Amino acid sequence: MLLPFVFIIDFTAIERLALIGVIVAVMAVEALNSAIECTLDRFSTELHPLTGRAKDYGSLAVLLTLLIAVATWLVLLWPKFT
């Protein structure tokens, strides 16, 4: 939903690359997290502490990537609206 803003608002090429790049990074990390979860579920359906930790670490990676993406968008959009 944010990608149209990259082309509507006047950004430099480097800024556009950063804004698109962080969105792609979030999607890539989310795909890796889903792959980890599917793989762990495939090998065992019983509850195990290490399985839970692996899934938690995958979710943490997604969260950190989202925080970087939000920070990038805020830093680049803020001057356009102030």
List, by residue number, the catalytic residues. 30
- Tens digits of residue pLDDT in 34-48: 999 999 999 888 889
**Is residue 78 marked as binding?**
yes
User: How many Cα atoms sit within 13 Å of 10 on the Cβ side?
Assistant: 3
Per-residue pLDDT at 26:
97
Decide if pLDDT at 33 tops 90.
yes
**Is residue 76 marked as binding?**
yes
Which numeric CATH code is attached to 3-81? 1.10.287.3610
User: How many Cα atoms sit within 13 Å of 6 on the Cβ side?
Assistant: 16
**Residue 22 confidence class, pLDDT cut points 50, 70, 90:** very high
Ranges assigned E (strand) in 1-82: none
pTM of the model: 0.88
Q: What is the mean pLDDT of the chain?
A: 94
